[in-house]
Structure 1
Amino acid sequence: MLSRLTRRQALTVCALPIAALFATAVFAPLPFSVAQPGMTANVLGANKGTQVITVDGARARRPSGQLRMVTIVATGPDARVSLGDVIGNWFRTDRAVMPRDAVYPTGDTLKEIEQHNTAQMRQSQDAATSAALKYLGLSPDKVRVTLKLADVGGPSAGLLFTLGIIDKLHGDGHGGDLTGGRTIAGTGTIDADGRVGAVGGVALKTQAARRDGATVFLVPKAECADAKAELPKGLRLVPVTTLKSAVDSLVSLEKGTGSVPSC
């Protein structure tokens, strides 16, 4: 039988590698990214001194409200995210721990990822312009729309770009603004036929929207549950599936007539 001193020494010796293993696990990099609410931008106005939407070949309106696209920001693909970071952020409502591949699905380097996101943004802007002009029955040969939004990539602003173009060219169709003077935010991809697609990160995007004054948030219908998970007080969710459903909901909100869907 080991003496008391010998047993104590044995426990101490065994504890050393366990402590070392725990320390390694805590500080070793893991394949995760930590995301949080990012910036928002009013597509009906200017961002960093440049108008987001400009129109040639047609008279542009000056809407009174705001249509704010929203973003999230995440730790970079080369950032070291440890077990301590994961545990520390897991239960925070203003943070999300996400698989790195879900945040950066394409490219191995920061430059490749930036190129991919820029290409997605360009495609999103082209689709938004096509969808808006098609909705309004205008020819792209006669009306030219230019979209500029610095330091933002990806396709998730597509719906808001489209609504912004419509509001600048047409409003609600009866002399009023689509926003009804409100601050409206939202997210969702768009295709040339006006179909709205899911984007991810909506629970963080709703927080960014409310922080910057939005009272209504347009969300792809498929992401209603995620959007409701951490919904800020004072923010109304409106699910959308198509451009037409988004416009109809905004007009109903503005006029105070008709039904407006909810999550």
Structure 2
Amino acid sequence: MSARTRALAVCTALVLALLVTAVLAPLPYSLAYPGMTANVLGADDGKPVITITGAQTRKTSGQLRMTSIVATGPEADVRLPDLVKGWFRTDEAVMPREAVYPVGENTEEIAEHNAQQMRESQDTATSAALGQLGRSGKGIKVKLSLADVGGPSAGLMFALGIVDKLDGDGAGHDLTGGRKIAGTGTITAGGKVGAVGGVPLKTQAAKRDGATVFLVPRKECADARAELPKGMRLIPVSTLDGAVDALKALRTGDTVPSC
């Protein structure tokens, strides 16, 4: 064997070794999928998702569905073949692990962080809803119960659910107009809607569970349009007031914002 042939063989072996290492090495990504949805106007595990005391509530129709994604755990090994497969699927997304799990090093820490964010989201959703209705909240207590859901992304839908149960559209009608409406977005106590991530997967979860309208944070319109399920209508929102107005317009057939 000549020196040139030996050198070529060594180089080929090194390249193959690097390729094998690249294929087998864990990468700092998570794989995400469409998660569960829940009607915040309904019940979860036999209990009302929204319970209001200290104020008269109204019977509602239609649905307001919060949406979610599920992802591989922080300790799961995600390798190059997994990423390649995820890039070519519409029901799967490759996301930086730090974007999915920004806090915590293990499942327990992350679960506690998400639970805390959910509790804070419920408080701000209540404040936003009562503020939108011009109520002080004195004497009104709102309890939100939704098992196995963490994080702040259900804030908008919680707030809309509270508004619908207390006041509807303000004229005796439901905000939903009898439709199945889904959505996502964080909420501040002042009613501002924030971006959340994973919107394309959430629109798929909404479609799977029968929704025909999806409320999306305005800044995520482009992401939502990218892989929008057929027959799903997008409504961009940036405030709770805007979301309420859009749903009123949808019910009456007036002009509704679009992405």
Return the match for 1:181 from 157, 168, 178.
Answer: 178
Rounded to whole Å, the distance in 2 between the matches of 1:260 and 1:2 is 75
Return the match for 2:48 from 39, 46, 51.
Answer: 51
Deviation at 1:48, TM superposition (A): 1.9
Rounded to whole Å, the distance in 2 between the matches of 1:249 and 1:20 is 57
2:2 aligned partner, one-letter code: L
- 1:262 partnered with 2:238: no
Alignment of 1:229-248 (within 5 A): 229-248=226-245
Correspondence for 2:133: 136
1:136 aligned partner, one-letter code: L
Correspondence for 2:106: 109
Rounded to whole Å, the distance in 1 between the matches of 2:11 and 2:154 is 55
Correspondence for 1:22: 19
Correspondence for 1:2: 2
2:255 aligned partner, one-letter code: S
Identity among equivalent pairs (%): 66
Correspondence for 2:124: 127
Count of matched residue pairs? 259
Counterpart secondary structure, 1:126: helix
Rounded to whole Å, the distance in 2 between the matches of 1:255 and 1:63 is 17
Counterpart secondary structure, 1:72: strand
Rounded to whole Å, the distance in 1 between the matches of 2:225 and 2:85 is 23
2:256 aligned partner, one-letter code: V
1:148 aligned partner, one-letter code: S
- 1:88 partnered with 2:85: yes
Counterpart secondary structure, 1:145: strand
Q: Cα deviation per residue 1:143-194 (whole Å; 9 max; x = unaligned)? A: 1110011111110000000000011111111111000000000011111111
Rounded to whole Å, the distance in 2 between the matches of 1:210 and 1:120 is 26
- 1:216 partnered with 2:213: yes
Return the match for 2:94 from 94, 97, 103.
Answer: 97
Structure 1 unaligned blocks of 5 or more: none
Structure 2 unaligned blocks of 5 or more: none
Q: Cα deviation per residue 1:3-42 (whole Å; 9 max; x = unaligned)? A: 9xx94x7765654443333222111100000111100000
Correspondence for 1:171: 168
Counterpart secondary structure, 2:117: helix
TM-score by length of 1: 0.94
Q: Cα deviation per residue 1:212-239 (whole Å; 9 max; x = unaligned)? A: 1111000011110000000000100000
Correspondence for 1:32: 29
Counterpart secondary structure, 1:139: coil
Cα RMSD of the aligned pairs, angstroms, is: 1.6
Q: Cα deviation per residue 1:53-104 (whole Å; 9 max; x = unaligned)? A: 0011122222110000000011111000001111111111111111111111
Return the match for 1:156 from 153, 157, 160.
Answer: 153
Rounded to whole Å, the distance in 2 between the matches of 1:141 and 1:176 is 25
- 1:252 partnered with 2:249: yes
Q: Cα deviation per residue 1:112-133 (whole Å; 9 max; x = unaligned)? A: 1111111111110000001111
TM-score by length of 2: 0.95
Rounded to whole Å, the distance in 2 between the matches of 1:18 and 1:212 is 48
If you compute each CA radius of gyration, which structure gives the higher value, 1 or 2? 1
2:108 aligned partner, one-letter code: K
